[in-house]
Every structure is written in structure tokens, then in C-alpha cells.
A and B are shown apart, each in its own frame.
Chain A
Amino acid sequence: MVDWLSLAVPLAYLGVLIGSLATFSSLYRKRKAQKAASLEAWFPAHLQRDIYFSLMHLDPSSQSEKKTPAVPESVLKASLLRRATEDIRRVMTLRSQKQALSMLLQRGSVGDDLWQRFLRAEKEMEDEVRDVVAEANAYVPGWGQVIFQSANEMLNNDLYRVRVAEHQEKIKEEREWWDKKKSSIQEGFMKELNEEEKEKKEGSTQVPATPAKGGESVPVAVAAASVQGSDDDAVLVEADPSVNSPGSPSGGGKKKKGKGKK
């Protein structure tokens, strides 16, 4: 004869234990699932995919006018190709990130939820790729095998063309820079030429190279002062008058040119 009364206590104990464990477990799991669901997506919204599905659902009846025809298949095919291109980009990103991320995870540098997000993105991309292949095969049998090849080339071609375009855009900039530089070189060159001619004309053998010499003569005292400030500035400012009046063999003109040479 079983003594129910004395068994009631251990049974109740067991019941409470199992009940509380079960409650804890279910609550814990629910919370974990919620947390996983609230994790941020790895990639931003898949624009090409959204457009593809929007086109699929763009049926004529939903429009106010009845005359809008259904979206032709070629548009859907183009949209699917765009979608495949974006998929390739994402799969490449995931692949390049995977190794670094797993290393960081092993070292404990990144949290577990980042890894969870990554795994989820990987699984989503797998589904996405499978879906694109299935859709492509539905349009043309056998297209599923080559659509990602085509998409890959399209992606690489795009990247390459952007780079080439960048190089070509620089042409204008380089040309402007060079024109400026060339004219400044020519100016300097012309000045030297002028000066040599003048020296021949005047028959003077001394080369007025030192700016300090300018201080000796009274008419160019102002110019000499500015030379002390900055040689380059003085050259730029005084270049014009000296070029405009090459015939005046004044001492001032000569000295200015001397500075230019320096």
C-alpha cells in the first residue's frame, strides 16, 4: 500500500522544480529569440530586390487607369540582373569579412551578437542567391547557371569604368595646372632674355643680382623695401611694369629685373 501522503511532499517538490525550470527555459528562449530578431541587419535594404518585387506586384488592375499594360518580361529580366549584381557585391563583402570577423571573435574583440548578425546575413544571402537562380531558370531554362557569371562581369566592368573615368576627369585639372606653370616658366625665361639683351645694349658687365644693391639708389627704395619682405611677391608685382616698358633703360628697371633673376 503506497503511502500517498508521505509521497506528496517529494512529488510537490519535483513539480515545483520542473515547473520553475520550464518557465525559466521558455522565458529565456523567448527573450533570446526576441533579441536575435531585433538585431540590426548586416546590410541596408536590398534596393534592387525591392524594385524587382515591386515590379512583379505592379499589376495593371491596381492602377487607376486600366490601359497600363503588364510589365514586360524584358524589364523584369533587367531588374533581375541588377538584383544579381547587387547580390554578388554582398556575397563578396561577406566573404572578405568572414575571416577577419572570426579571428576577432576568437580573440574576444567583438561580441557574440555581431557574429550572430553576420551568420544571419550569410544565411539570408544563400537564400537570396538560390531564389535568383530559381527565378532566372523560370524565365529562360539554363539562365540560372550563367546569370551570376554575367552579373560578376557587369560588376567588375562597372568598377573598372569608374576608375578609368576618374583618371580622365583629372585631365582638365592637370592641364590647368600645367598651363599656369608653363606661363610662369615662360615669364621667367622671357625676363632673363630681356635682361641679357639689356645688358648687351648698355654694355654693363655687372650683374645686379643682389637685392641689397637696390637700396643704394634712391628711386627704387620702395621696391627694395618690398624685396626685403618677400622676393617672390616683389617679382610678381613688378613683373608687369618692367615688361610693359622694356625700352626705358632706367636704373630702376634694371634693378627690378635683377631681382627677378634672383
Chain B
Amino acid sequence: MASEIDLFNEYPLHMDPSSKAISLLPSSSQTATQTAAIAAELQELNALHRSLISLDPPNIPPPPLPVNPKRSAQITKLRDSGNAAYRKSNYAEAIRLYTYAIDMALSRPGWEPVTLAREELAGLYGNRAQAHVGMQAWPEGLCDAKASVDSKPVGNVKAWWRLAKCLAEMSRYAEAKTFLLKGIEIEGRVSDGGKELVQLLEDVEAALQRMG
């Protein structure tokens, strides 16, 4: 049994001497699905290698905490300018800025804490959803609000409201009601946001009644 740890399947790999990219040499010993799986894995590996090389020596990912503050600062800056554009009702510009911030938050290296990424993206998606609501672009707002709620279900009452609002505006009252009930269950009725959710729920139920 002790020797089992040393057993492995050897693959005919090849390294490009200049770019150090690893690739699989064509051979007949693997099936097509295996080859595809290996190729996908190697692609991930090469991507990870590139991000490792950009680090300082000794080229290992640092422990998850503390986080490099540079990226966070940039994201905050983009979000703030997005908020400013939103306040001036310049929704298209706000969406553009939020999208930049989202892309930047998404490209955080994988070894940074996932809770941080969730927190950040929940806010950004929520804001972008609000900007879409401002432009009456309900489907985009719906998807962004869904992403926001999925990132951070608790303490994200605005995103719940926007999600239900978009659905209600598209006359999808039954779906809106489901999400509102879920949101109220998580956020509670007593808080300010909770009251707004209850209010919207009443409207949605009235609309459902009207439709019969």
C-alpha cells in the first residue's frame, strides 16, 4: 500500500521552451474525452502559472489575509465615480463604470478570500441593477439583482427589492412574489428595507388579484 502513493499515469506533456506553456503531445493512448479534460486542465494550469509569475519571488500565493489593498482601492474608486454618475442620472455612464469595477473585482486572483469578492460584487451588481432600473432595462436589472442576491443573501435588502421590482415591471408577478417572500424571510419585516419589501409585496399581490 505504501507504494501506491507513488503510482501515477504519465501523460506525454510538452513544454514550450519560450513561453513555458504546457501542452499535451498528440498520442493514441487517450480517448477523446480524456484528451479534452487534460487540455482543459492544462489551460487552467497555464493561466495559474502566468498569475504566479507576476508575483514577487518566491512566486507562491501569499496567505489569503491580508489582502493587497491596491485592487480594493481601485474598485472603490470606480464604484464611487459610478455612484456619482448615477446621482446625476447619467445611467449609461454609471453602468459603464460599474461594469469596469465588476470586471476588476472578478479578476481578483483566486487565492484571495472569497468572502471579500462576494461582498464587493454583491454591492457592485446591486448598484448596476439600480442603474438598469433607472434606464428601465428590466431584464438586465433582473439578472444583476439575481447575481447580487446570490452573492450575499443576508443584509442585501435593496437587491431583493430591485429583483422583485424588475420582475413586477415585466408582469411576472408570481415570480416576484416568490422572491419577495424569500427576501422578507431573510431580512425580516421590521427593518426599513423590510417594510419596503412588504409594501411591494402588497402591490404585487394586488396585481395578481387583478389578473385573476
- A213 in the interface (beta carbon within 8 A): no
Interface string of B17-30 (1 = CB under 8 A from A): 10010100000000
The closest CB in chain B to the CB of A154 belongs to: B110
- For chain A residues 42-56, which have a beta carbon within 8 Å of chain B? 45-51, 53-55
Which applies to chain B's interface (DSSP): helix, strand, loop or mixed? helix
Nearest Cβ distance between residue B37 and chain A, in whole angstroms?
6
Nearest Cβ distance between residue B40 and chain A, in whole angstroms?
9
Are A68 and B15 neighbours in the complex by a CB distance under 8 Å?
A: yes
Q: How many residues of B contact A (CB 8 A)?
A: 51
Q: Which of A70-78, A193-201, A202-210 contacts B (4 or more CB under 8 A)?
A: A70-78
The closest CB in chain A to the CB of B8 belongs to: A53
B residues in contact with A53, CB < 8 Å: 8, 10
Are A74 and B53 neighbours in the complex by a CB distance under 8 Å?
A: yes
B residues in contact with A161, CB < 8 Å: 106
The closest CB in chain A to the CB of B9 belongs to: A50
A residues in contact with B112, CB < 8 Å: 153, 157
- In the complex, A164 Cα to B63 Cα: how many Å? 25
Q: How many residues of A contact B (CB 8 A)?
A: 54
- B151 in the interface (beta carbon within 8 A): yes
Q: Which of B72-80, B135-143, B184-192 contacts A (4 or more CB under 8 A)?
A: B135-143
- In the complex, A139 Cα to B60 Cα: how many Å? 9
* Known A-B contacts A77-B60, A82-B48, A158-B110; A167 and B8 likewise in contact (beta carbons under 8 Å): no
- B200 in the interface (beta carbon within 8 A): no
Listed A/B pairs (5) with beta-carbon separation below 8 Å? A68-B17, A78-B52, A81-B61, A127-B4, A146-B61
Q: Which are the 3 A-B pairs with shortest beta-carbon distances?
A: A174-B139, A154-B110, A78-B49
User: Which A residues are within 8 Å of any B CB, using their own CB?
Assistant: 45-51, 53-55, 57-58, 67-69, 71-75, 77-79, 81-82, 124, 127-128, 131, 139-140, 143, 146-147, 149-150, 153-154, 156-158, 160-161, 163-164, 167-168, 170-171, 174-175, 177-178, 181
